[in-house]
Amino acid sequence: MLSLISESQEIAIGQESHPAVLAEFGLVEDQALQDYFSGIGLKLAKSSHRPDLPWKFTVVDSPVVNAFAVPGGFIYVTRGLLAYMNNEAELAGVVGHEIGHVTARHSVTQLSQQQLMGLGLGLGSVFSPAFRRFSSLAETGLSIMMLKYSRDHERQSDQLGIQYMAQTGYDPSQISRFFTVFEGLQANEGGAIPNWLSSHPAPPDRIQATAAAAEKVKQENPGRQYQVNADALLARIDGIVQGENPREGFVENGRFYHPDLRFQLDFPQGWKVQNTKSAVAFVEPGGNAVLQLTLVPPEEGQTPEAVSNTIAGQQGVQLLDGAALRINGNPAYLGRYRIQAEEGTIAVLAGIISYGKNMYQLAGMTPESSYANFSRGLDGAIRGFRELTDQRILSVQPDRIRIYRARNGETLRGIVKSQPQSRVTLEELALINRLGLDQTLPAGTPVKLIRPGR
């Protein structure tokens, strides 16, 4: 196995990456849920082949369905993944799988092969103050989330996860049952964080192979009792946010709103939006231009022009022209820059805007040869940044999962008709619960419903 990275370096990557992961995706602010998840993870880690790593387990605030590991023992699941869980053993299976990636040093192998050390986050970091406080090790950790494991790595982690589950007392057959969820999901290549199918390519026979491996473990340990713990898991996810949290930004009719920060802006028609804790990116469909919105770290007495001067002082950055102005009543500086990069010359139109208690940076980036095609749209978007005053938007709330106990003979279709739901489709709800729409349910069957925000 190729590995140019020592264990101490591996741990350093994890320790320095953790703050960067939280800055990018956020922490689910539910201490009981975090403690619950950490307890499961630590039990599994103690049964692993590397129990002495400084293991850390965190639920991150992303609606994407994924779990991922950073070298050194840092394991993450998204709240989006938890929505599809039906019991604690399923969660243990996914966590055991991620622990397997760490114990087998899969991501370390990939880093060695692809020589990612020191590459950083690329051009965007020049205009992304949120990332400049992180080291290249932290940037490497974030890069790992975009890597794809090989099918051989997936098979090995499946086997290790089953082994760790069984040793910890969890029913190992639950992991193959959970994998059926991914048959109903589509791979998402373009998000700020990939989903499970993008970063974990499934071997064709994964469900059958993991079911057979679990059965073999059970046969080799006759009389052992295994836990499923459905009620414990469901109690912890009852009430968590489901889907995108509109409080942290959403798009409606071609306009981006951020209720918590009380601003809005229009962006070019047809552009895609990627919204994370540290940045919002509006991406031209062909990938030829991007408009990135970030918060500028606060500094005493800082002005928009001073921020622009700091940007212009960076190596490879040239300020071509600029001027102080007011954008919808807010002090601002609008500047045009040229950046010399390995990929060629990049043109940037950046607006630094002081609004409320924050300083915002809107940077439109495109190859210099394409700037004329996008300059008008970028300029209009930057100048469109303004205060959000619509009370309907300001009061929007996220959808949440609520656990409903079925009455004898009820069906999922019937329950949905009688209970207020968000805009989630019947098919999505069936997948989240792994229930047939017209399946007759025994009394007390837990059903995950998506209650609309208020």
H helix or E strand, kind and range, residue 60: strand 56-60
pLDDT at 341: 74
Separation of alpha carbons 337 and 280, rounded Å: 20
Does residue 432 sit within a domain?
yes
- Give the CA distances from residue 112 to residues 69, 364, 400, in Å, rounded to whole numbers and listed in that order: 16, 33, 41
The answer on 319 and 268 residing in a single domain is: yes
The pLDDT score that the predictor gives to residue 45 is 97
Residue 254 bridge partners (DSSP): none
The answer on 291 and 155 residing in a single domain is no
pLDDT at position 303: 93
The verdict on 205 and 304 lying in the same domain is no
Place of tokens 């043109």: 347
Q: Print the domain residue range for 100.
A: 7-237
Whole-angstrom Cα distance, residue 111 to residue 71?
10
Residue 22: helix, strand or coil by DSSP?
A: helix
pLDDT for the residue 454: 62
Q: Are residues 198 and 289 in the same domain?
A: no
Q: Considering the domain boundaries, does residue 2 fall inside one? A: no
1, part of any domain: no
Q: Do 60 and 99 belong together in one domain?
A: yes
Give the pairing of strands 255-258 and 250-252: antiparallel
User: pLDDT value at position 109?
Assistant: 61
The answer to whether position 195 is within a domain reads yes
Residue 399: predicted pLDDT: 94
In a domain, 11, yes or no: yes
Distance CA 170, CA 75 (A): 19
Residues 207 and 196 sit within 8 Å (Cβ to Cβ): no
SS3 state at 98 = helix
CA distance to 25, 98, 142, 221, 280, per residue, from 192 (Å)? 9, 20, 11, 43, 10
Burial 423-453 (b: 16+ CB within 10 A, else e): ebeeeebbbbbebeeeeebeeebbbbbbbeb
Q: Are residues 293 and 389 in the same domain?
A: yes
- Do both 208 and 295 map to the same domain? no
Q: Count CB-CB contacts under 10 A for residue 303.
A: 16
User: Could you tell me the two tokens for 3?
Assistant: 């590995």
Q: Could you tell me if 385 and 250 lie in one domain?
A: yes
Q: What is the pLDDT of residue 130?
A: 40
- Cα 96-97-101 angle, rounded to 5 deg: 115
Q: Are residues 321 and 352 in the same domain?
A: yes
Residues 220 and 304 in one domain: no
Q: pLDDT, tens digit, for every residue of 265-287?
A: 999 999 999 888 888 989 899 88
Domain termination residue (choose one: 197, 220, 237) = 237
Strands 317-327 and 255-258: unpaired
Same domain for 141 and 58, yes or no, is yes
CATH number assigned to the domain comprising residue 372: 3.40.1000.10
Q: Is 88 exposed, middle or buried (0-12, 13-18, 19+ CB in 10 A)?
A: buried
pLDDT in tens, the chain (454 residues): 444 578 888 888 888 889 888 888 899 999 999 999 999 999 999 999 999 999 999 999 999 899 999 889 999 999 999 999 999 999 999 999 999 999 988 776 655 444 333 333 333 444 544 434 434 444 444 555 556 778 888 899 999 999 999 999 999 999 999 988 887 876 544 454 567 777 777 778 899 999 999 999 999 988 899 999 999 999 999 999 999 999 999 999 889 999 999 999 999 999 999 888 888 989 899 888 989 998 888 776 689 999 998 888 888 889 999 999 999 999 999 999 998 877 688 899 999 999 999 999 999 989 999 999 999 999 999 999 999 999 999 999 999 999 999 999 999 999 999 887 777 889 999 999 999 999 999 999 999 999 987 6
Give CA–CA dist 343/367, Å, rounded: 9
Residues 375/316, Cβ–Cβ less than 8 Å: no
Tell me the three state secondary structure of residue 55.
coil
Residue at a domain's end among 212, 237, 262: 237
Query: Can you tell me the distance from the alpha carbon of 230 to that of 253, in angstroms, rounded to the nearest whole number?
Result: 40
Is the torsion defined by CA of 61, 62, 67, 72 positive or negative?
negative
Q: Give the C-alpha separation, 84 to 430, whole Å.
A: 10
Query: What are the b/e assignments for 274-287, b being 16+ CB within 10 Å?
Result: ebbbbbbbbbbeee
Same domain, 178 and 68: yes
Any domain includes 188 = yes
**Based on the structure, what is the number of domains in the chain?**
3
Residue that is last in its domain, among 394, 409, 427: 394
Name which of 110, 120, 44 is nearest 75 in CA terms.
44
Pure H helices in 26-150: 31-46, 79-82, 88-103, 106-114, 129-132, 136-144
